[in-house]
Amino acid sequence: SLHFETPVTVVIFAKDLEAFAHAKRSTVSAEDVKLLARRSRALSNHIQNKSEELAQEQRESRKKSTVKRKSRETEEESRE
């Protein structure tokens, strides 16, 4: 179960987020979130696991799209 150890952790997270804002960045990347979570082992592990799950899902989705596209191309060629 994820939880913050102390209110101090929340203050530290807030200061880290403020530093991102001062960097004039319009987006926060997954790597930024991992960096922010580094102070909480449980949160860091959770985010790392979710990140890996999402990356795997994206790879599988791209693979399926490629297979479908190739299948359509083959079907179109056979009609010609």
What pLDDT digit, counting tens, does each position of 2-54 carry? 565 677 777 888 888 788 777 777 777 788 888 888 878 888 888 889 989 99
Whether residue 1 is contained in a domain is answered as no
Domain count, the chain: 1
For residue 32, what pLDDT is reported?
Answer: 81
pLDDT tens per residue across span 48-74: 899 899 999 999 888 878 877 777 777
List phi, psi (to 5°) of 61: -65, -45
Do the domain assignments include residue 25? yes
In a 13 Å sphere around the CA of 75, the CA atoms on its Cβ side amount to: 6
Residue 44 lies in a domain: yes
Domain membership flag for residue 13: yes
Q: Buried b vs exposed e over 31-65: b needs ≥16 C-beta within 10 Å?
A: eeeeebbeebeebbeebeeeeeeeeeeeeeeeeee
What confidence score (pLDDT) does residue 3 get? 61
